[in-house]
């Protein structure tokens, strides 16, 4: 699966990219119809510590799945977005079985 990582107005380090790629690629174990994914990392201009945003779009046949989460670190935001996508994938698989 192709994982495309875009950082808005900053550079990501290799460790963060490897972490995100590993997490996203694990989703293909849940559902093998994933063609690719697009991850966008942003810094929100918020006054709080939770200003890191991870947006993940999974490209699957028919509809794309999308999750956007905000947290104190990109790793934490990615984790929560992956959890949300895992739930969406489970729902998608149930629809396909009916």
Token pair for 53:
């945003």
Q: What is the pTM of this model?
A: 0.92
| pLDDT digits 0-9 by tens, 43-91 | 988 677 889 999 999 999 888 999 999 999 999 999 999 999 999 999 9
The residues that bridge with 53 in the sheet, in sequence order, are 42, 70
**How many domains in the chain?**
1
Token pair for 78:
């990615």
Tally Cβ neighbours within 10 Å of residue 24. 25
Residue among 35, 24, 72, 27 at smallest CA distance from 52:
72
Task: Supply the range of the domain harboring residue 75.
Answer: 2-97
Inter-residue contact 65 to 89 (CB < 8 Å): yes
pLDDT at 48: 79
Inter-residue contact 84 to 67 (CB < 8 Å): yes
Report the CATH number that the domain containing residue 38 is assigned in CATH: 3.30.160.100
């Amino acid at each position: 699966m192709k994982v495309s990582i875009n950082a808005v107005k900053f550079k990501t380090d290799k460790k963060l990219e490897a972490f995100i790629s590993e997490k996203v690629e694990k989703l293909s174990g849940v559902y093998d119809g994933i063609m690719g994914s697009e991850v966008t990392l942003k810094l929100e201009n918020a006054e709080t510590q939770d200003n890191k945003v991870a947006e993940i779009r999974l490209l699957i046949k028919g509809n794309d799945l999308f999750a956007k989460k905000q947290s104190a670190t990109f790793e934490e935001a990615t984790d929560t977005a992956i959890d949300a996508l895992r739930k969406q994938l489970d729902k998608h698989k149930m629809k396909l079985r009916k």
